[in-house]
Structure 1
Amino acid sequence: MSTHSGSNERIKETHPEWYRDVSPMYYLILGSFPPHAKRWDYPFYYPNKINRFWKILAEIAKVNLTVPIVSEKEAVEERFSIMQKLNAGVQNLGKTILRKGTSALDTAIEITTFQDILLILKKHPELKKIVLPGYSSQNSTAKAFLKYINQTKEIEIIGFIPKTLNSGTTFKISVYGRIIDCVVLNSTSTASRISYDEVKKQFEKELDS
């Protein structure tokens, strides 16, 4: 499916079945949606090796990522093992989107349906924190998560969320009789002007607490 508006062609995409459960899961890291398939180096979350996400998580987990990527399957298993070591689940919020062309930017996508994040929250009563990297655009992870909350009846935001989100913004949600902390971080994309060391420091703080 696509809609045409001059040079702004919008193409429907459906998220691949990448989700793999981690148990125990103390942290859930959410993203928005993968880049266009032509940019993938392997079929898993943050599939472009230029993105800093897996390098940061590998350093926090004190493991070395294989370079270069020789086998897509091994690359996926290597990244899943990092998730297991950190007790951190990974999922994207978008299930279906409309994308302008093949852009990898959040500003070029519109989430039309969401993943079932509630199912993950229900399955993992031990979950204590949701990490939201990226907050600038309307379809960034943090803003998309707030839209998802507004569509559900089971999740309630506790307290006040500032109108302008920033790295370090925190809030709590109540769901299934539990309180879960949520924290907004900078994006791991290389398009971000925030340094690698600063983004790593942010993740390290949240995944160690």
Structure 2
Amino acid sequence: MKEEQQPEYHPLELFLPERARLLMLGSFPPQKKRWSMDFYYPNLQNDMWRVFGYIFFANKNYFLEPDNKKFNKERICEFLFEKGIALGDTAMSVVRLQDNASDKFLEVVDPLDLSSVLKKLPFCTAIVTTGQKATETLLKMIDTSVPKVGGYSEFIWQDREMRLYRMPSTSRAYPRPIEEKARFYEQMFKELGLL
């Protein structure tokens, strides 16, 4: 096996505020050379934190440092903790089939242990996947239908009624305006009482 085909293990701890009601799951972080901080959605080319800033603070740059060269991890974590939003990824180890950050070229080796995560989140009633690869990976773990983008399907997890939301990717590889992506996320946050 060539060196580039060796599994890459997830470099971040799950962010699990005990009172979280929503678990957001992406696929896997980009390569470290693309990071602007040591946290989820670290790539400046990913609009997740701009979408959050736009929705909750009417300022897409709210979570950026003044120099606009990195995101402010402390501000993001404080906000997520206050709102009750947990973060993780659906893959714990992957093989990158190409030397880039594209989900299309990720082969999941070890998926997330969803049961273990949800035990740590007793108040969680919704999971959102942020992109196609994350959705495909999670659907192998739960029994529900594939929600349309922006919508949700319902499922039962160990006697807990839950929703699976499917959101558009915030990667710039999917070139929709921030405002358009934000509309999907905003509707979900409203439905869950987070906005």
TM range (shorter): 0.7 to 0.9
- Comparing 58-67 with 18-27, greater Cα deviation is found at 58-67
The higher-RCO structure (CA 8 Å, 6+ apart) is 2
| Distance in 1 between residues matched to 2:150 and 2:51, nearest whole Å | 17
Aligned positions, number? 187
- The aligned counterpart of 2:163 is 181
Deviation at residue 119 of structure 1 after TM alignment = 1.8
Aligned pair partner of 1:41 in 36, 42, 52: 36
- The aligned counterpart of 2:176 is 194
**Secondary structure in structure 1 of the residue aligned to 2:79:** helix
- The aligned counterpart of 2:97 is 100
- The aligned counterpart of 2:7 is 12
TM-score for both structures, normalised by structure 1? 0.80
**Secondary structure in structure 2 of the residue aligned to 1:96:** strand
Deviation at residue 196 of structure 1 after TM alignment = 1.2
Deviation at residue 69 of structure 1 after TM alignment = 5.9
Give the conservation status (yes or no) of the 8 Å contact 2:9–2:92: yes
Which structure 2 residue ranges, 5 or more long, are not aligned? none
Give the conservation status (yes or no) of the 8 Å contact 1:168–1:185: yes
User: In structure 2, do the counterparts of structure 1 residues 56 and 85 end up closer, same or farther at CA, with 3 Å as the change threshold?
Assistant: farther
- The aligned counterpart of 1:141 is 134
| Distance in 2 between residues matched to 1:40 and 1:172, nearest whole Å | 34
Sequence identity (%): 25
Does residue 118 in structure 1 map to residue 115 in structure 2? yes
- The CA RMSD over aligned residues, in Å, is 2.2
Cα offsets for 1:131-174 (capped at 9, x unmatched): 11112xxxx11111112x1xxxxx5x25xx25xx6413421221
| Distance in 1 between residues matched to 2:176 and 2:29, nearest whole Å | 20
TM-score for both structures, normalised by structure 2? 0.85
**Secondary structure in structure 2 of the residue aligned to 1:208:** helix
Cα offsets for 1:55-98 (capped at 9, x unmatched): 1123333272223267x8x8321221121233111101111100
Which structure 1 residue ranges, 5 or more long, are not aligned? 150-154
Residue type at the aligned position of 1:68: D
The runs of at least 4 aligned residues of structure 1 exceeding 3 Å deviation read: none
Residue type at the aligned position of 1:116: D
**Secondary structure in structure 1 of the residue aligned to 2:72:** helix
| Distance in 2 between residues matched to 1:68 and 1:93, nearest whole Å | 32
**Secondary structure in structure 1 of the residue aligned to 2:108:** strand
| Distance in 2 between residues matched to 1:145 and 1:44, nearest whole Å | 21
Deviation at residue 197 of structure 1 after TM alignment = 0.8
- The aligned counterpart of 1:152 is none
